[in-house]
Amino acid sequence: MECMLQALYVENRAGYFFTRFCEKSRNELWKNSAYFWFDLQAYHQLFYQETLQPFKVCKQAQFLYATYIAPSASMDIGLQQDKKNEIYQKTEPPYEDLFDPAEEYILTLLLVPWMKMVEVDKCIYGKVELVEESRQLDSVYFRKLQALHQESVSKKDESVAPEVSPLSQPSVLSKAQLLSEVPEDYRGCHLHDLLRNGLELEQFRLFLEEHSAVMDLTCWIDIEQFRRMLHKEKEKREEKSKDIKNKYLNKKYFFGPNSPATKEQQDQIMQSGGGWGRILHDRLSSSALLEVQKYVQMRLEKKWLPLFLAKEQQPGARRKTKVIMIRDIAEDLLIQRNEKKIESWKHVDNKWVSSSREIIMFRKALLNPVTALQFQRFVSLKGDLLENGVLFWQEVQKYKDLCHSHCDDATIQNKITTIINCFINSTIPPALQIDIPSEQAQKIIEHRRELGPYVFREAQMTIFALLFKFWPKFCEFRRNLTNEKILPALERKKEKKTQKVKRKT
């Protein structure tokens, strides 16, 4: 689960690989759940901004409910009816934890396609590529003999073997037929257009592999990399040039029967390079390499690119022609996450951002009387005000429930006053009974009516983040204890701590 969450948070940098997997599965629930998760993160970010905008929060909450949860939702995620009712009753006013039941449900649901995708990847990467490699003793005499032998073979091929057209490979469609199969929007598509889209380029590479023609693409890319190297990087250019010569300028590819160039074009390049013997021992000139790239590009654009585009338009193929709105939302989400957070969140580390499932579980624990009491006793050993923090968080949740019950304003104001008098402006010293900045406390006291239902938002988020740091330690502590033994064990720890304090004084 944690691996999947981390993958979701970096989906935009991974080319939306998992999202595309869900789309191609033709499972509507998987696809809709993936979209919902991204939209939900955008909703959560509204609460982390320096200034909360209630209208924007309400609008986003209504959008999420209408699009993914309502009975007539266009992108229904299949949530149970009782959960739908629970969310609907709390939409006015909407709080950060409004969609927790739906988020927990979709994370469990998305775990199935995630495991399937991982298995597919393991299967693909488990295959071993066989590479033919010939080795021989390298000496000056051997290289000379080899050059003479290959030169004689090339002359023999010219006199005996019939000329093989570079485009003599059987093709499914003629050039005219290929162009008729390709939509008008893509008929002017060039190789450089694919380079701007990493996913499309990868699809094209896989297509070429299926047709045993990937050498054309790798050759073009290697020469393009050579072209873009700075001239002052002489050693790197020299090494790259030799690598290109060894990989492509041989009888198996460019000077062979399956070359992208005709026999005349091959001869021209060979002459410009100083003959076969010189090509073997020296690196090819930059101008000659550009000529090689030109012929490779011509075959890619005239033969393989139309075939690829025609195939993409066949029934069953799903070519994306527009950028989906979800990508913009995800980009915006990551930009907001990197922006300056409010002062009270400066101490929150990356674990807070990357563990949404744990956050949901922690909220549930704080709402459970038994678990909350155990946790309250546990944090009391860690700090003087942390125990009050648990109580404050619970009281704010009760205040939220009052807001959702649509009771009269006097009852709500009485609840606000009670919380302020108990935790924020107490008559018992210290006046601030919870661990929040004094500026935050002053803001609550002075602007309690202006802030409306979100009066305790920042304070509750600060306390929640602070308590959440102790949640993993608490889980580890109670792992080896039964429920009956947890409280007595905590009481013993508290007594020991009290005795230590007395000894010091």
pLDDT score of 183? 53
pLDDT at 159 over 70: no
Confidence of residue 274 (pLDDT cuts 50, 70, 90): low
Q: What sign results for the dihedral spanned by CA atoms 304, 306, 310, 313?
A: positive
pLDDT at 328 over 60: no
| 3-state SS, residue 479 | coil
| Residue-averaged pLDDT of the chain | 78
Taking Cα atoms as reference points, which of 74, 73, 93 lies closest to residue 84?
73
Cα separation values, 198 from 1, 185, 191, Å: 28, 19, 12
pLDDT at 485 over 80: yes
pLDDT score of 167? 40
Q: Residues 322-332: what's their mean pLDDT?
A: 38
pLDDT score of 197? 58
pTM of the predicted model as reported, rounded to 2 decimal places:
0.50
Q: Residues 191-211: what's their mean pLDDT?
A: 75
Residue 419 or 142, more confident: 419
pLDDT at 65 over 90: yes
163 alpha-carbon distance from chain centroid = 51
Beta strands, E only, 356-411? none
Q: Find the range with the poorest average confidence among 85-89, 327-331, 357-361, 472-476.
A: 327-331
pLDDT at 329 over 50: no
Confidence of residue 334 (pLDDT cuts 50, 70, 90): very low
> Which part of the chain is CATH 1.10.167.10?
2-128, 165-312, 351-504
Whether residue 71 is preceded by a cis peptide bond, meaning omega within 30 degrees of 0, is: no
CATH homologous superfamily for the domain 351-504: Regulator of G-protein Signalling 4, domain 2 (1.10.167.10)
pLDDT in tens, 236-246: 888 888 888 88
Please tell me the distance from the alpha carbon of residue 454 to that of residue 287, in angstroms, as a whole number.
69
Please tell me the distance from the alpha carbon of residue 93 to that of residue 110, in angstroms, as a whole number.
29
Confidence of residue 352 (pLDDT cuts 50, 70, 90): very low
Long-range pairs, 436-439, Cβ under 8 A, ≥24: 436/344, 436/462, 436/463, 437/343, 437/344, 437/462, 439/343
Residue 391 or 345, more confident: 391
Please tell me the distance from the alpha carbon of residue 75 to that of residue 283, in angstroms, as a whole number.
59
Residue range 2-128 in CATH 1.10.167.10: yes
CATH of domain 165-312: 1.10.167.10
pLDDT score of 63? 92
Residue 197 or 17, more confident: 17
pLDDT in tens, 280-312: 656 667 778 888 888 888 888 888 888 888 776
Question: What does the block give as tokens for 324?
Answer: 């989906």
* C-beta neighbour count of 216 within 10 angstroms: 23
pLDDT score of 28? 92
Can you give 183-241 as a three-state secondary structure string?
Answer: CHHHCCCCHHHHHCCHHHHHHHHHHHHHCCCHHHHHHHHHHHHHHHCCCCCHHHHHHHH
pLDDT at 195 over 80: no
pLDDT in tens, 68-82: 999 888 999 999 999
First CA to last CA across the chain, in angstroms?
49
pLDDT score of 463? 93
pLDDT score of 264? 85
Confidence of residue 404 (pLDDT cuts 50, 70, 90): confident
Residue 309 or 492, more confident: 492
pLDDT score of 354? 41
The CA dihedral of 88, 92, 94, 97, to the nearest 10 degrees, is -50
Cα separation values, 186 from 12, 203, 297, 319, Å: 25, 16, 17, 12
pLDDT score of 189? 64
Confidence of residue 392 (pLDDT cuts 50, 70, 90): very high
Longest dimension (CA), the chain: 107
